[in-house]
Amino acid sequence: MRRRAPEFRRSSRKKLSDWIWWLLGFFIVAGLVLFIVHHRHESTFEPPIKDVNTKFEDASQESVNFTQELVSSTSFARQLIDQMTLAKAYVIIAKERSNAQLAWELSSQIRKCQRLLSQAAVRGKSVTLEEAHPVVSRLSELIYRSRDNHYDISTMIVTLKKHSQALEERAIAATVQSAEFGQLAAESLPKYLHCLNIKLTMDWFENLKLKKLADEQRNSPRLVDINLYHFCIFSDNVLATSVVINSTVSNSDHPQQLVFHVVTDAVNYYAMKAWFLRNNFQGCTVDIQNIDDFSWLNASYSPMVKRLLNEETQHQYLSGVTAGENEDLKFRSPKFVSLLNHLRFYIPEVYPYLEKVVFLDDDVVVQKDLTPLFSLDLHGNVMGAVETCLEAFHRFYKYLNFSNPLISSKFDPQACGWAFGVNVFDLAAWKKANVTGRYHYWLEQNSDQLLWKKGALPPGLLVFYGLMEPLDRRWHVLGLGYDMEVDDRLIDSAAVAHFNGNMKPWQKLAISRYKHLWQQYINLSNTHLQDCIMN
């Protein structure tokens, strides 16, 4: 078949492409027209959109002012609150009169009232009349019914007053009981420590090697060598004393140059001897003494000993008589009249050959080397201590009776208090100032306990007044036995952490946050200690 001419084919394609271009142009024009029409249509609705936003802003403004609805005397929310408060009072009285049905109906309407107020607060609008009327009406009916049942205002006031007084009495009784239990727990020795004391005492009497070793160390020249570093600890707690010594030598640059002088009572003397003879503390020297062996500490010399021998004092502090209403329970503790607690005022008599000692309480943990304390310049003062007057509670007027002219004429009530627990003593300056004589003087002046109550700190404030050199606060951080929020940075930077307070680290009621500081220095490899803890 014969093919068509090329000219004819090109003409057909040209017509087809013209149609495509026409259609494309039509669609473009139509799109432009629709865009213009739509744009004009949107612009005509701009004012209504602005009105909607304004309404939304007004609504949000109402939600911000919803609190004012609760205090406005004309608002329905305020009426609901007033009705609900009155209904709650009648619920208490209805229950007391055994009217369970009325109490249930009142409680049901109170819940509806609370739900309505919550919904209004969430949506940010005021409570309307239609919403409030059913609830207020029903509550009013129930309140009138309560009044018909003789639940009048006077009865309600008397009843609520009785409830208030009863709750107050229960709260006071619970507080006193809690304080008593806390004090008993603080004074008591845990079972495992009793067990350890018994086992160590048996060791002393059964092991002849311990007695022989004790005889060899009894007259060691290190005990009076003034070139060594001497520490004194007065305690009846074997494990606590061990932690103090172990933590001190563990953080010392030269533990072999440390000498510890421990004084305890007759009950714990042999247990102390056995423990420190059985355990080696990096080559330091530990000397144990019995306070009963101090023949010079008698009633003719010490007013404190004389007071302890008094029958009234023994009955008051050692018989467990309950404290009076106006007396702080902690001052009834026997530790406040314990000779070990007051032995710190006789340090030159206990160690007549020493020139400088550092006193440590048995509830401290040493974290840094303490030997620099011995080279501190006390500027002629007798004692170095950390002041505790950052808060008003630790000033003199909190410990002493400044209404007594004997106190007010000689001391400043705003004077700064300080802490026992880590103290450096210059014994030569002590003897020169006759500190022990001053202590005896103030004890005799306080024979009627009108100058201060009990404890070693108040007389300490008096006898060392004007003789105390303030130390850097980093030597001694306090409060780990009662304050649960001591700053960790303050604890880490301190040379000594003190568990002063009732929550001692060897007790179950200790603050767990600090307990690891103490436990890390316990020798858990000791078989006696393992047996006592397990049993």
**Between residues 170 and 273, the one the model is more confident about:** 273
Burial of 251 per CB tally in 10 Å (0-12, 13-18, 19+): middle
Q: Which of 67-71, 403-407, 526-530 has the highest mean pLDDT?
A: 403-407
| pLDDT tens readout for residues 335-349 | 545 789 999 999 999
pTM over 0.85: no
Q: Average per-residue pLDDT in the chain?
A: 81
Query: What's the token pair of residue 163?
Result: 């409830």
Residue 477 main-chain phi, psi, to 5 deg? -110, 135
Q: Between 526 and 42, where is the model more confident?
A: 526
The residue type of 145 is R
518 and 504 in contact (C-beta within 8 Å)? no
Q: Token pair for residue 61?
A: 């403004």
Mean pLDDT value across residues 110-129: 81
> pLDDT, tens digit, for every residue of 452-474?
988 889 999 999 999 999 999 99
Q: Does the structure show a pLDDT above 60 at 163?
A: yes
Three-class DSSP category at 344: helix
Tell me the pLDDT tens digit for each residue of 484-521: 999 999 999 999 999 998 889 998 888 999 999 999 99
- For residue 94, give both structure tokens: 């209805």
Q: Across residues 13-18, what is the average pLDDT?
A: 57
What confidence tens digit (pLDDT) does each residue in 49-60 have? 444 444 434 444
One DSSP character per residue, 397-423 reads GGTS-TTSHHHHTTS-TTPBPB-SSEE
Torsion angle (degrees, nearest 10) of CA 148, 150, 152, 156:
-130
When pLDDT is cut at 50, 70 and 90, the band that residue 14 belongs to is low
pLDDT given for residue 152 in this prediction: 59
- The DSSP annotation for 34-91 comes to HHHHHHHHHHTTHHHHHHHHHHHHHHHHHHHTHHHHHH-TTSHHHHHHHHHHHHHHHH
